[in-house]
Chains A and B, each alone.
Chain A
Amino acid sequence: MITLTINGKTVEVEDGTTILQAAEAHGMKVPYYCYHPDIGIDGNCRMCLVEVNGNTDKLTISCKQACGEGMDVQTESPAVKKARKGVLEFYLINHPLDCTICDEAGQCPLQDYAYKHGPGDSRFVEEKRKGPKKVEFSDKVIFDSERCILCTRCTRYFENVRDSRPIGVSDMGGKCTITLGPNGPIEDPYQLNIIDICPVGALTSLDARFNQRVWFMDFAKTICPGCSKGCNIEAAAYQGQLKRFEPRRNPDVNKSWMCDDGRLSYDRYNLTDRVRSAHVAGEPAELGVALDKVNELVGDGAGVAVLASTKNTCEDLLALRTWAQAHGVTQLWHGAETWAGDDFLKQPDATPNTAGAQGLGFEPVPDDVPALRGLVVAGDVPVPPALLGTIDFLVHQAPTAGELGPAAMVLLPGRTPLEKRGTFVNHEGRRQQVRPAVDPGPGVPEDWTLWRDLAGETARADWPSVRHVIGAVDRALGADKVASAS
């Protein structure tokens, strides 16, 4: 352990910690562009200059300087402030200042730092540097060299995290720029992460291009429902429509990254043809009537099976299990959806909560399916044809009617994972909170309330709100599982 003082505050840090990390860990913000906790240190941007041991002649870059015993660090001294102003003035000399048309505006560290630490005006009267604009690095990423401040986070992301070099720095001096390599457009399935780490609007997403300003969007901290990795994301919505997914840093799960497939999957949850009321035999019905019909059909539960989608939260599944057990349904199965996983983030299991379903006693559909009298399908899930062969009735609960809808005796409304509050358990058994990003609108209650109301008076009294069910899920899954920090 090393003891040093930062801004007069004595702090203790591990050996090898940099000054910047030490300051951040103790609540003192040092501005930086090129450093990124998940890419590594480079030390080219000169934004993070601090004063060490009163040396104002030569300031130190805090991102690269390891803490030393007894160091006296000043992050807000007059010399540091003057240096920051100078560095920012150099950045803004050639930056086109076209924030009005830049998609990064609103989440741009250059904007933020220029406002907070910058000189406030410009002494530069010469012509600004010109460079290639609207360069398509791939069918997903567009590059504007005039906005680039050459922090090289993007090239270092590919080198250090993805172990490839599709782009690099070329040319010298004022013409220095990021260039696409000789192998053509970037094909990496994780390439959109560079638009998040780009501290200016040089790299922007073609998908989100000129779509909506960030300050009009509502961001919800939730979990990507695309696979069982459970990447932490922020889901942005504008007027009830999902507009984008962005990764949220969680060093234990996805660091700062997410896959492009997951990122671009937001539109899948903007439904146009959703089920807005309960249906009995194809006709719209009161929810209460439909629920009574379900209990009437299920009867004593003999020969009835439940097939639950693993896109349901643990709360939905616990309420479903409670109802099923109360009505003698013992065959609790969960669906399976797969896609091609890889060795970085994508898991082969394309649903977010298989581990949660298994923890709550749901099992995979057995190979030899017993003859069934009825089937209750909870959620949007592919149903093996063998299950549908012999049944007399089908109860289907899902956001959209889908293929099963017309065949269902009772059709109940449902929510997408982006409209739910609850818990997902990822492939490592880590419990993570899901929060709603959009509101489904009228006629779509939370999924777990349907099963709770079906289960009867006791469940209704036990679980007045989702918080109670989240507590019940915690108890049902036991205390030995890893709980995520966020």
Chain B
Amino acid sequence: MAKVVERKKLNWFEQLYLPAIAQGLGMTFKEMFKPHITLQYPEERQVFADDYRGAPGLVKDQDGREKCVSCQLCEFVCPPKAIVIEPGELPADDTAANVEKAPKEFFIDFLRCIYCGLCEEICPEEAIFMTSRYELNGSKREDLVFNKQQLYELGGTRVDPIKKWEGK
């Protein structure tokens, strides 16, 4: 059985409506002088905290060395199995040849990635970081499978104060 909600009966002042309009406009005027929080996307972008979990990218150190050594722990830990790495050997004439190992290819499927950040957390080389990039789109599925070059563009450079491989 339907419940009948009894409407409040308006008194004569309320029935005029004009006070309500004035009240509404008053609210609007009040808001006009408060700080604006709407961003004019895409011209304006939100600024994220450093630990925002956007798309993961690979980083190079200040000397331009690929930090990833393809230990494949991120591939192992990745819950949706978005990461696929093809390990390879660094050529003998490479400036960081003593590291011996580097990824030949590195793929992250951003259709699979769940932005959990476990890859960043597990990385023993601090080579993969969650960036603040959150808009990823493409016209094909393949467009969202990033290869090594795209991932380095995404990650950029990070200063490495320790340089654990130097002199190893």
> Which A residues form the contact surface with B (CB < 8 A)?
96, 98-101, 105, 133-134, 209-213, 215-216
Chain B residues whose CB sits within 8 angstroms of the CB of A210 once the complex forms = 70, 87-89, 100-101
Measured CB to CB, the nearest residue on chain A to B73 is A100
**Contact assessment for B71 and A100 in the assembled complex, using a CB-CB cutoff below 8 Å:** yes
Chain A residues whose CB sits within 8 angstroms of the CB of B153 once the complex forms = none
Q: Which of B76, B89, B168 contacts A216 (CB 8 A)?
A: B76
**Contact assessment for A101 and B124 in the assembled complex, using a CB-CB cutoff below 8 Å:** no
The reply to whether the CB of B72 lies closer than 8 angstroms to some CB of chain A is yes
Indicate whether A212 sits within 8 Å of B100 (C-beta atoms), given known contacts A100-B124, A100-B125. Answer: no
Cα–Cα, bound, A429→B73 (Å): 45
> Which B residues form the contact surface with A (CB < 8 A)?
69-73, 75-76, 87-89, 98-101, 124-125, 168
Chain A residues whose CB sits within 8 angstroms of the CB of B69 once the complex forms = 100-101
**Contact assessment for B71 and A134 in the assembled complex, using a CB-CB cutoff below 8 Å:** no
Chain B residues whose CB sits within 8 angstroms of the CB of A212 once the complex forms = 87
Additional 9 contacts, C-beta under 8 A, given A100-B69, A101-B99: A98-B168, A99-B71, A99-B124, A100-B73, A101-B69, A105-B71, A209-B89, A213-B72, A216-B76
Closest CB in chain A relative to B103 CB, distance in Å? 10
Measured CB to CB, the nearest residue on chain A to B104 is A210
**Contact assessment for B72 and A96 in the assembled complex, using a CB-CB cutoff below 8 Å:** no
Closest CB in chain B relative to A162 CB, distance in Å? 29
**Contact assessment for B100 and A101 in the assembled complex, using a CB-CB cutoff below 8 Å:** yes
Chain A residues whose CB sits within 8 angstroms of the CB of B125 once the complex forms = 100
Chain B residues whose CB sits within 8 angstroms of the CB of A213 once the complex forms = 71-72, 76, 87
Closest CB in chain B relative to A438 CB, distance in Å? 19
Indicate whether A101 sits within 8 Å of B168 (C-beta atoms), given known contacts A209-B89, A210-B101. Answer: no
Cα–Cα, bound, A183→B88 (Å): 32
Measured CB to CB, the nearest residue on chain A to B165 is A98
Cα–Cα, bound, A216→B87 (Å): 13
Nearest 5 interchain pairs by C-beta: A100-B71, A101-B101, A210-B87, A213-B72, A101-B69
Chain B residues whose CB sits within 8 angstroms of the CB of A101 once the complex forms = 69, 71, 99-101
Cα–Cα, bound, A209→B104 (Å): 13
| Residue of A98, A212, A215 most packed against chain B (CB within 10 A) | A98
- DSSP class of A's interface residues: helix, strand, loop or mixed? loop
Q: Which of B87, B98, B124 contacts A133 (CB 8 A)?
A: B98
Chain A residues whose CB sits within 8 angstroms of the CB of B72 once the complex forms = 213, 216
Indicate whether A211 sits within 8 Å of B87 (C-beta atoms), given known contacts A99-B71, A100-B71. Answer: yes
Measured CB to CB, the nearest residue on chain B to A213 is B72
Chain A residues whose CB sits within 8 angstroms of the CB of B100 once the complex forms = 101, 133-134, 210
- Contact sample, A vs B, 19 pairs, CB 8 Å cutoff: A98-B168, A99-B124, A100-B69, A100-B71, A100-B101, A101-B69, A101-B99, A105-B71, A133-B100, A134-B100, A209-B89, A210-B70, A210-B100, A210-B101, A211-B87, A213-B76, A216-B72, A216-B75, A216-B76
Indicate whether A96 sits within 8 Å of B168 (C-beta atoms), given known contacts A101-B71, A210-B88. Answer: yes
Cα–Cα, bound, A100→B128 (Å): 14
**Contact assessment for B101 and A215 in the assembled complex, using a CB-CB cutoff below 8 Å:** no
Chain A residues whose CB sits within 8 angstroms of the CB of B73 once the complex forms = 100
Cα–Cα, bound, A99→B75 (Å): 16
Cα–Cα, bound, A134→B101 (Å): 12
Closest CB in chain A relative to B10 CB, distance in Å? 73
Measured CB to CB, the nearest residue on chain A to B123 is A100
Cα–Cα, bound, A324→B75 (Å): 51
Measured CB to CB, the nearest residue on chain B to A144 is B100
Closest CB in chain A relative to B106 CB, distance in Å? 14
Measured CB to CB, the nearest residue on chain A to B68 is A100
Chain A residues whose CB sits within 8 angstroms of the CB of B101 once the complex forms = 100-101, 210
Cα–Cα, bound, A101→B72 (Å): 10
Measured CB to CB, the nearest residue on chain B to A212 is B87
Closest CB in chain A relative to B109 CB, distance in Å? 15
Closest CB in chain A relative to B74 CB, distance in Å? 11
Chain A residues whose CB sits within 8 angstroms of the CB of B168 once the complex forms = 96, 98
Closest CB in chain A relative to B57 CB, distance in Å? 19
Closest CB in chain B relative to A114 CB, distance in Å? 15
Closest CB in chain A relative to B79 CB, distance in Å? 16
Cα–Cα, bound, A101→B66 (Å): 14
Cα–Cα, bound, A235→B125 (Å): 31
Chain B residues whose CB sits within 8 angstroms of the CB of A215 once the complex forms = 76
Measured CB to CB, the nearest residue on chain A to B89 is A210
Closest CB in chain A relative to B166 CB, distance in Å? 13
Closest CB in chain B relative to A241 CB, distance in Å? 13
Chain A residues whose CB sits within 8 angstroms of the CB of B99 once the complex forms = 101
| Residue of A209, A210, A211 most packed against chain B (CB within 10 A) | A210
Cα–Cα, bound, A96→B72 (Å): 19
Cα–Cα, bound, A210→B69 (Å): 10
Cα–Cα, bound, A211→B89 (Å): 9
Chain B residues whose CB sits within 8 angstroms of the CB of A100 once the complex forms = 69, 71, 73, 101, 124-125
Chain A residues whose CB sits within 8 angstroms of the CB of B89 once the complex forms = 209-210
Closest CB in chain A relative to B58 CB, distance in Å? 15
Chain B residues whose CB sits within 8 angstroms of the CB of A96 once the complex forms = 168
Closest CB in chain B relative to A115 CB, distance in Å? 15
Measured CB to CB, the nearest residue on chain A to B75 is A216
| Residue of B75, B87, B88, B125 most packed against chain A (CB within 10 A) | B87
